[in-house]
Amino acid sequence: MKKPIVKMEVVESTSKNKNSKSRRRFIKMSGLAIAGSGVLLACDTDDVFDPGGETPVPEPEPEPEPDPDPEEPTAFDLGSGDVGILNYALALEQLEAAFYTAVREGDYYAGASDEEQQVIDDLYNHEVIHRDFLRAAILEAVGGDESQVLPELEFNLDSVDLSSRDSVLQTAMALEDTGVGAYNGAGDRLESATYLTIAGKIVSVEARHASAIRSLLNPDSADFAGDDIIDENGLDIEYDPAEVFEIAGPFIETEFTANELPEPNTGS
Amino acid sequence: MSIIKLLDEFTSEKLVTKSTSRREMFGTLGSFGKKAALAAIPFGMAAGSKANAAAMFQDNGGPISSLNLALTLEYLEAAFYRRALDSGVLEGGSREETVFMQLFKHEDQHVNFLVENLGDDAVESPEFDFTAGGAFDPFNENGIGQMDAMAQMLALAQAFEDTGVRAYKGQAANLMGTPFLEPALRIHSVEARHASEIRRIRGLKGWIVRDQRGEGMPEATQPVYNGEENVIQGGVDVSSISSGLVGNATDAATEAFDEILTGDEAVAIASLFIVSND
């Protein structure tokens, strides 16, 4: 099950706003091979959303990965359509649940204040429930076919110092903010109103978490909804899958692919 | 309340027939002046049905109605924080003042963003009465005293933010296939960050436990929390799918998912603070 860390190759843009920071960041990332991630990402090229921008950026053709070892089992692909998005969310919830599980076994937690232990306990509970719910929801959506549900991933949390309050809370903040951005960026890729509403029920809890962690890190400040993440229109972050995997990828050991994630539907 | 009467007028068949263009509908609403904002809730919602929200939106609601409901709530929040900051109730340099300044900034930005995007379709701001007809005195205008005023101010802020989270969530399905879904989701999560911080300042958890409004919240705010005790998500009982949880599994399951408010539920809450002239 445990595989060596492989490269992440970002092949295709799926950003929907040509003027957004994410778009620019994405283009900068295009074609780069980033080491340290188990995620191979290539989005569907058939219906790339083009906002009709004035500066067309040549999109690199996704080259089929030559299979160096035909005996190697094929990596799990998140899938297409709503199931793909739900598997994508499941990967993040698995990571968050694994992180808080590890935190609760570490020295920071053991010596933390009652308030901070309570927050960590709650976040652990919520992420475990989100993970288990998503798995059940996907299984239901694919008619019980386990092969279409993201398997249990292996994570590498060695970069987190579980005895350090700062390391734990900074990582928690990064993961919670990433979760918010990921759900915000995935909502308009969903076809089902039911799943959209459920994703909405989860993302606001992730945002409550992010706010609380930020508040623990800097209590008498505006960081709970800081200017580092909320833009000048009062809008929270949103991430494309490529950006999410750039952040979360270094924690993910098990290789999987995201070749068929749907594009946003903005009606234009 | 008179708001309900007003809403009923707008659910008449004449107004929701397909032949009535959106522009005509809003033209009609415009003649009601201040009350127009109230009437801008999704028409399908005004009947008070408890049916599945998503299905109802597809049948009846339109994105413009949803965005105008959102705008009305943003008007309310922005006006509330502006008056709170002007009231002298918050101590200069305090955590509460720092937080309220950030909340005001965001709600004001949301108002501007929605007005800009709605253009001619944007409703006007209603007139607000944050005493709710004399029940509260959050700005210490009637002599309740600074301490009590601040307690009420924080309680109302919590109610408004938790309402905002639930109301946006309830409109999301109505914005599918439009360029407004993503910005609405991005506002929605900002409201959730706000709610968490205000709740924590008040000594509560940042997330909602069952349908508990929490200590010190006036009973009038209970409709903000009704329904939050739900544990069935997409047909799955999320209070019994996980092992190894810490503490009470039902508490955790209700905390882990925020619930929607329908448009009429959100308007009913907001209408407590809206002055209607009739």
Query: Using one digit for the tens of pLDDT, what is the confidence trace for A118-170?
Result: 999 999 999 999 999 999 999 999 999 999 999 999 999 999 999 999 999 99
Averaged pLDDT, B127-136 = 96
What integer pLDDT is reported at residue A167 of this predicted model? 98
Closest residue to A133, CB basis, from B57, B102, B236: B236
Per-residue confidence at A24, pLDDT binned at 50, 70, 90?
very low
Assess B233–A contact: CB distance below 8 Å, yes or no.
yes
What integer pLDDT is reported at residue A41 of this predicted model? 65
Q: Directed axis angle between helix A81-103 and helix A165-186, to 10°?
A: 170
Domain span at residue B41 reads: 3-276
| B258 contact residues in A (CB cutoff 8 A) | 200-201, 204-205, 208
A residues 66-95 lying closer than 8 A (beta carbon) to B: none
Lowest mean pLDDT across A3-7, B165-169, B206-210, B269-273: A3-7
Minimal CA separation from A63 to chain B, in Å: 31
Per-residue confidence at B199, pLDDT binned at 50, 70, 90?
very high
What integer pLDDT is reported at residue A61 of this predicted model? 60
- Phi then psi for residue B232, to 5 deg, are -100, 115
What integer pLDDT is reported at residue A2 of this predicted model? 38
What is chain A's mean pLDDT, rounded?
A: 83
Instruction: Identify whether the C-beta of residue A196 lies closer than 8 Å to the C-beta of residue B176.
Output: yes
Query: Measured between alpha carbons, how far apart are the two ends of chain A, in Å?
Result: 43
Which token pair is B100?
């309220």
Assess B58–A contact: CB distance below 8 Å, yes or no.
yes
ipTM topping 0.90: no
Averaged pLDDT, A91-109 = 98
What is chain B's mean pLDDT, rounded?
A: 83
CA nearest B235 in A: which residue? Answer: A137
Amino acid at position B161, single letter: E
Averaged pLDDT, A23-47 = 42
| A128 contact residues in B (CB cutoff 8 A) | 242, 244-245
Assess B161–A contact: CB distance below 8 Å, yes or no.
no
Q: Which run of H or of E encompasses B200? A: helix B181-201
Instruction: Identify whether the C-beta of residue A248 lies closer than 8 Å to the C-beta of residue A194.
Output: no
Averaged pLDDT, B202-207 = 98
Instruction: Identify whether the C-beta of residue A131 lies closer than 8 Å to the C-beta of residue A93.
Output: yes
A vs B, Cβ pairs < 8 A, gives 218
Per-residue confidence at A63, pLDDT binned at 50, 70, 90?
low
CB atoms A124 and B54 under 8 Å = no
Nearest Cα neighbor of B182 from A203, A139, A46, A66 is A203
Minimal CA separation from B117 to chain A, in Å: 12
Assess A189–B contact: CB distance below 8 Å, yes or no.
no
pLDDT at B47 over 90: no
What integer pLDDT is reported at residue B174 of this predicted model? 96
3-state secondary structure A27-59: HHHCCCEECCCCEEECCCCCCCCCCCCCCCCCC
Averaged pLDDT, B96-117 = 98
CB atoms B193 and A208 under 8 Å = yes
CB atoms B196 and A266 under 8 Å = no
Q: When comparing pLDDT for A243 and B52, which is higher?
A: A243
Minimal CA separation from A118 to chain B, in Å: 9
Q: How far apart are CA B268 and CA B264, in angstroms?
A: 6
Which token pair is B187?
């506002």
Model confidence pLDDT, tens digit, residues B1-29: 233 333 333 233 223 333 333 333 333 33
Assess A118–B contact: CB distance below 8 Å, yes or no.
yes
pLDDT at A70 over 60: no
Q: How far apart are CA B265 and CA A248, in angstroms?
A: 38
pLDDT at B98 over 60: yes
Model confidence pLDDT, tens digit, residues A170-224: 999 999 999 999 999 999 999 999 999 999 999 999 999 999 999 999 999 999 9
Residue B93: count of CB within 10 angstroms of its CB: 9
The 3-state DSSP class for residue A256 equals strand
CB atoms B53 and A207 under 8 Å = no
Assess B271–A contact: CB distance below 8 Å, yes or no.
no
Instruction: Identify whether the C-beta of residue B159 lies closer than 8 Å to the C-beta of residue B216.
Output: no
Per-residue confidence at A113, pLDDT binned at 50, 70, 90?
very high
* Interface with chain A: mutation pick from B60, B193, B246, highest number of A CBs within 10 Å: B193
Q: When comparing pLDDT for B51 and B236, which is higher?
A: B236
| B101 contact residues in A (CB cutoff 8 A) | 222
Listed as own residue / partner, the contacts of A144-151 with beta carbons closer than 8 Å and 24 or more positions apart are A148/A79, A148/A83, A148/A87, A149/A87, A149/A90, A150/A76, A150/A78, A150/A87, A150/A90, A150/A91, A150/A94, A150/A256, A151/A76, A151/A254
B residues 245-264 lying closer than 8 A (beta carbon) to A: 245-247, 252-253, 255-260
What integer pLDDT is reported at residue B168 of this predicted model? 98
Nearest Cα neighbor of B234 from A74, A89, A247 is A89
Bridge partner list, B236: B233
Nearest Cα neighbor of A126 from B63, B66, B211, B241 is B241
* Interface with chain B: mutation pick from A223, A233, A240, highest number of B CBs within 10 Å: A233
Assess B179–A contact: CB distance below 8 Å, yes or no.
yes
* Interface with chain A: mutation pick from B168, B189, B231, highest number of A CBs within 10 Å: B189
Assess B214–A contact: CB distance below 8 Å, yes or no.
no
Residue B197: count of CB within 10 angstroms of its CB: 28
Q: When comparing pLDDT for A56 and A98, which is higher?
A: A98
pLDDT at B61 over 60: yes
The dihedral through the CA atoms of B90, B94, B97, B99 has a sign that is negative
Residue whose entry in the numeric block shows the structure tokens 């609760």? A104
The 3-state DSSP class for residue A98 equals helix
What integer pLDDT is reported at residue A74 of this predicted model? 86
Q: Which run of H or of E encompasses A77? A: strand A76-77
pLDDT at A4 over 70: no
pLDDT at B185 over 90: yes
What integer pLDDT is reported at residue A20 of this predicted model? 42
Assess A230–B contact: CB distance below 8 Å, yes or no.
yes
What integer pLDDT is reported at residue B67 of this predicted model? 97
Q: How far apart are CA A200 and CA B80, in angstroms?
A: 26
Per-residue confidence at A95, pLDDT binned at 50, 70, 90?
very high
pLDDT at B158 over 70: yes
Nearest Cα neighbor of B7 from B20, B32, B122 is B32
Maximum distance among all Cα pairs of chain A, rounded to whole angstroms:
57
Instruction: Identify whether the C-beta of residue A38 lies closer than 8 Å to the C-beta of residue A252.
Output: yes
Instruction: Identify whether the C-beta of residue B228 lies closer than 8 Å to the C-beta of residue B207.
Output: no
Minimal CA separation from A208 to chain B, in Å: 5
Per-residue confidence at B276, pLDDT binned at 50, 70, 90?
confident
pLDDT at B269 over 70: yes
pLDDT at A109 over 70: yes
Closest residue to A187, CB basis, from B182, B192, B200: B182
Assess A238–B contact: CB distance below 8 Å, yes or no.
yes
Q: How far apart are CA A261 and CA B250, in angstroms?
A: 33
Report residue A238 CA to chain centroid gap.
11
B residues 84-143 lying closer than 8 A (beta carbon) to A: 95, 98-99, 101-102, 105-110, 112-113
Residue B277 DSSP symbol? -
Averaged pLDDT, B185-190 = 98
Closest residue to B194, CB basis, from A140, A187, A225: A225
Q: How far apart are CA B252 and CA B262, in angstroms?
A: 24
Q: When comparing pLDDT for A148 and A267, which is higher?
A: A148
- Tally of domains in chain B: 1
| B172 contact residues in A (CB cutoff 8 A) | 187, 196-197, 200
Per-residue confidence at B277, pLDDT binned at 50, 70, 90?
low
pLDDT at A21 over 90: no
Question: What are the helix and strand counts (H, E) for chain A?
Answer: 7, 5
